[in-house]
Amino acid sequence: MTLSVPRIAIIGGGPGGLYAAALLKRLDPGREVTVWERNAPDDTFGFGVVLSDETLGGIEHADPVVYEAMQSDFVRWDDIDIVHRGVRHTSGGHGFAALGRRRLLEILHDRCRALGVDLRFRTVAPAGLEETHDLVIAADGVNSTTRERHSHVFRPYVTPHHCRYIWLAADFPFDAFRFEIAETEHGVMQLHGYPYSPGASTVIIEMREEVWGAAGFYEVTPQESTESCAKIFAEALRGRPLRSNNSTWTTFRTVVNDHWSHGNTVLLGDAAHTAHFSIGSGTKLAVEDALALAASLEEQPSLEGALAAYEAERKPVVASTQRAARASLEWFENLGLYLDQPPRQFAFNLLTRSRRVTHDNLRLRDARFTGAVESDFGCAPGTPPMFTPFRLRALTLRNRVVVSPMDMYSATDGIPGDFHLVHLGARALGGAGLVMTEMVCVSPEGRITPGCTGLYNGRQAAAWKRITDFVHAQSPGTAIGVQLGHSGRKGSTRLMWEGIDEPLPDGNWPVVAPSPIPYKPSNQTPRELGRAQLTDIREQFTAAAWRAARAGFDLLELHCAHGYLLSGFLSPLTNRRTDAYGGSLAKRLRFPLEVFDAVRGVWPQERPMTVRISATDWAEGGNTAEDAVEIARAFAAHGADAIDVSTGQVVAEEHPEYGRSYQTPYADRIRHETGVPVIAVGAISSWDDVNSLILAGRTDLCALARPHLYDPHWTLHAAAEQGYDGPGVVWPDPYRAGSRRPQTGRTDAPKPRLTLGT
């Protein structure tokens, strides 16, 4: 039953607002639907609009008249061309559909008029619409006045970014979606171009703010900008001019709102959210918003319920799209990092930048292109990238999968027992190239909880040797590494499942830190470490490293992340010292580097050492990605063989930006800016993610935690699912009979061949 909403006001006559008007009027012809648009009917900014098959399917189902009108004007193509340093690589099978933005508006105008929608152009929406109408839809764009007027309720967050861009057009059609890179005397510039009609293409020119300024674009007229861009990209444009349509240079801003409705007013399209144009989602999201809002009004018994349902449906979809758009945006912002990649790997990196197109997905679209990238990378025929070897000093890992350190909180007196033997042994049998222990503590006071393991006495070392001996004997070719750390101010807390980071109800031990700042108000205030205590702790690390070497570990990782002791020195939020160990980043690095040097001095030279860092504190005033690069560079200069790049957990008031593979951009940046190998972590959950990240050159190794809790044989199963049976992964002889997927129920029932009419 259609909800009674007799009078609807729509502010903004862009595609989202117009399509919402058409849908709502079509669903209930008795409604009074009015659209206020301050511009003229034929005013439009930008040129072409790209829509996905998924969005088009929704339009076709909801309004076949609009779909058919659009269908007749679509330009379709399958290829993406990437041109860099004079070399063009083409990837096919992508499937795009575009049409002119002005033509799209004409179609929607005609449909609205045919349905009886009142379109009021050159008219600013009057104040007080929420009092005279039952529903007000604010589709008034990125600079929404409605959103700003009620900002105390919508709570918008508007984030500017680092590139300038301008929308232009060329009077000829590209034969593919084209990305072209220009390395100029002022810096790197890029062209994004695609056809939108048989005789025209959209052309977007983008560059970092500092490049834009150095090139003098801030002091020339729009026409001069257009002419300069045409000269810079003359080859891509075949010597033809560019034209503008009131085009100006602008900076993209990401818009996020905590809430999308206020009373009977609701946000739609760019007023509610924005997603960078490099993934072509602005109009797509607005049209999908309109579809969801109209459906919610049909399905819910009250306006309040309908607006809540609309927001609940759209927010997760938009958030996912914005994460992909943010990844794409930042890839182009940091384009200069990738210029020296091999040409085909550069192209693959660009194509997979948003993490929505993956290795497996791209292989389905264009097996020839993907196979060429794999061959350039060094993959033997039939070998997925994740099963290529990687060397650190004298240690060669047979594949790129790492079982990430995971605290088990299951030790007694710091001694790993049968649980640890089974836990780590099972994952070693599961095929990963490297299995890491949990954080192994260097002293009783350095434990996080009473259940943490240690390496501060001989009994613990002997118990660890039992585990390394099992791994080496039963899973030959699998390496096992130890992560050494000290809990610092996050120590003396309960087991994770009893209250993570909460102090013990009794039996607490004193905790120490660079500065006397408790992790949370409920935690102990740590004692600030003096010079003598620093020396003692450094010696505890070296003694633990010496025991680790005798216990047979193949690799040692120094834990300088997640707010534990050494991480506490690195972050300005937790290190307020005024002596030689606090202040500038160089001083904050001093003690962690002293510990690293001492450990490296006793750790066998042929065995590698890695360092785990938190690449951002996710908190204002904390370490940033730029700081992480310098931290990584410092450890590499002291002999670190790889940097294990995590984020956060340094302060309780952090605000992480969670999402699939959300930490990998930090590893990517460190790898390309420092040249040191990296281990990427953070919500990497599929073998397709691993292949994509490795082949794109964003990381050297991938560490996975929760997937290995879900499936100890994750790597073996990844090989089976990809049909791989080579040296990069070895099934233990007793398990080899299980190297094929078990049969499931029958799925090949005969399909109907004939449908009879009635």
Answer yes or no: are the C-beta atoms of 203 and 245 closer than 8 Å.
Answer: no
Q: What Cα–Cα distance (Å) separates residue 521 from each residue in 52, 150, 271, 511, 653?
A: 50, 35, 39, 14, 12
Sequence-ordered list of residues with C-beta below 8 angstroms from that of 336, at least 6 positions apart, any chain = 187, 188
Q: Has 456 been annotated as catalytic?
A: no
Three-state secondary-structure class, residue 710: helix
Q: How far apart, in whole angstroms, are the C-alpha atoms of residue 349 and residue 331?
A: 9
Task: Please provide the distance, in angstroms rounded to a whole number, between the alpha carbons at the two ends of the chain.
Answer: 29
DSSP 464-510: HHHHHHHHHHHSTT-EEEEEEE--GGG-SB--HHHHTTPBPSS----
Q: Which of 414, 411, 415 is nearest to 444 (CA)?
A: 414
Q: How far apart, in whole angstroms, are the C-alpha atoms of residue 167 and residue 229?
A: 11
Sequence-ordered list of residues with C-beta below 8 angstroms from that of 54, at least 6 positions apart, any chain = none
Question: In a 10 Å sphere around its CB, with 0-12 CB exposed, 13-18 middle and 19+ buried, how is residue 89 labelled?
Answer: buried
In this structure, the number of other CB atoms found within 10 A of the CB of residue 115 comes to 18
Catalytic one among 19, 409, 564, 581? Answer: 564
Q: Which residues pair with 189 in a beta bridge?
A: 182, 207
Task: Indicate the Cα dihedral angle 207, 212, 215, 216, nearest 10°.
Answer: 150
Helix residue ranges per DSSP H, 334-449: 343-351, 359-365, 367-377, 418-429
Structure tokens at 350: 């660009």
Tell me phi and psi for residue 344, to 5 degrees: -70, -35
Task: Indicate the Cα dihedral angle 180, 181, 185, 187, nearest 10°.
Answer: 130
In this structure, the number of other CB atoms found within 10 A of the CB of residue 329 comes to 24
Q: Which of 480, 491, 495, 484 is nearest to 411 (CA)?
A: 495
Amino acid identity of residue 238, one-letter, is R
DSSP 714-752: HHHHHHHHTT--STTS---GGGGGG-SPPP-S---PPPP
- Cα three-residue angle 132-311-273, rounded to 5 degrees: 90
Amino acid identity of residue 472, one-letter, is H
Sequence-ordered list of residues with C-beta below 8 angstroms from that of 749, at least 6 positions apart, any chain = none
DSSP 46-74: SSEEEE-HHHHHHHHHH-HHHHHHHHTT-
Structure tokens at 233: 């990209």
Answer yes or no: are the C-beta atoms of 151 and 281 closer than 8 Å.
Answer: no
Q: Where are the beta strands (DSSP E) in 126-249?
A: 135-138, 156-170, 177-184, 187-197, 200-208
Three-state secondary-structure class, residue 712: coil
Would you report the helix, strand and coil content of the chain in percent, each value rounded to 5? 40, 20, 40
Length of the chain, please? 758
Tell me phi and psi for residue 618, to 5 degrees: 55, 35
Active site residues: 564
